[in-house]
Structure 1
Amino acid sequence: MSYATVEEFTSVIGNQETVELTNLDNPSATTVNSDRLQQVLEDASGEIDGYLATRYATPLEFIPSTIRTYCVDIAWYRLAQNNAPEQFATRYNNAIARLKDIEKGIMVLLDPTGFPLPKRLETNPLVDDRGNLLDDWSVAYVPGGEANLTRELLNVQDIYRY
């Protein structure tokens, strides 16, 4: 599954440029090489999934417009191969930077109603020594319910001064 279609790519990039990019080995071609473009879009989507998989179940069921744009930008850069103008490289690098932000949780993906897409379910969730599930917002359990962290409670031998 790709995050952008051949038609979406062509509408963003333009028909003539899409014909040229998908037929680098055949400069006289007058039609889009749809098979080549579809493969490049799938490869770009795979690259996107590599970043998204840390936060979301991939492939995404709902495709946010930002992901569609990143897919087009990555595929555009890949199609140009070694002849990519600076504009292509800039758009590619911007897409990768945003995907890294998503990977780190700095940026979130939204569903059509404006709510964040659900995080992927962990197959091996992180738990503390008591078996309590930890997530991004968990804090350590403190006996007595108070955050009264003493030397004995923490079993700390030395306290370092900064």
Structure 2
Amino acid sequence: MYATIGDMETRFGQQELVELTDTDLTGAVVEAVVETALGDATELINGYVAARYRVPLSPVPDMVRRWCCDIARFYLHKAGVPDVVKAGHESALQGLRDVARGVVQLQATGVETPGASGETVLTVGGRVFTDGSMRGF
């Protein structure tokens, strides 16, 4: 996962996590609920960045850790999501869209795309033709 329960507590406070997870009124954070939200947020992030970066990202950029927390926080709200939580979620999604489009670059190991080496690449009907594979024609 790109963030921890500790990251969530640092950003939003333990009391908020208790309020969002403690349905049995024990007064404690239900860690399994927070970990599920963090796992779901991580999967969403991977979906956006996998075309440009090797996942899981390593090391985890601070920006991605923040996005993971904001998305997980949104997921923890079951009803009546406050505007500040919606704004954090939307900001994270916009950042991920920008990463997917190549507008924002992460400090992580990227994935080489076809043609990145300057080689001409043509994909037709599922077949990939490169300068090397077409040599002699």
Number of aligned residue pairs: give it. Answer: 122
* TM alignment of 1:1-162, pairs within 5 A: 2-23=1-22, 25-26=23-24, 28-110=25-107, 117-122=108-113, 125=114, 127-128=121-122, 131-132=130-131
TM-score by length of 2: 0.82
2: CA distance, partners of 1:22 / 1:132? 56
- RMSD of aligned alpha carbons: 1.8
1:132 positional shift: 3.3
Identity across the alignment (%): 30
Flag the structure with more relative contact order, 1 or 2, with Cα contacts below 8 A and sequence separation at least 6. Answer: 2
Greater strand share, 1 or 2?
Answer: 2
For structure 2, list consecutive stretches of 5 or more residues without a partner in the other structure: 116-120, 124-128, 133-137
Q: 1:17 is matched by which residue type in structure 2? A: E
**Could you list the per-position Cα deviations for residues 84-125 of structure 1 after superposition, in whole angstroms to 9, with x for gaps in the alignment?**
111111110000000000000000002xxxxxx332145xx3
TM-score by length of 1: 0.70
For structure 1, list consecutive stretches of 5 or more residues without a partner in the other structure: 111-116, 134-162
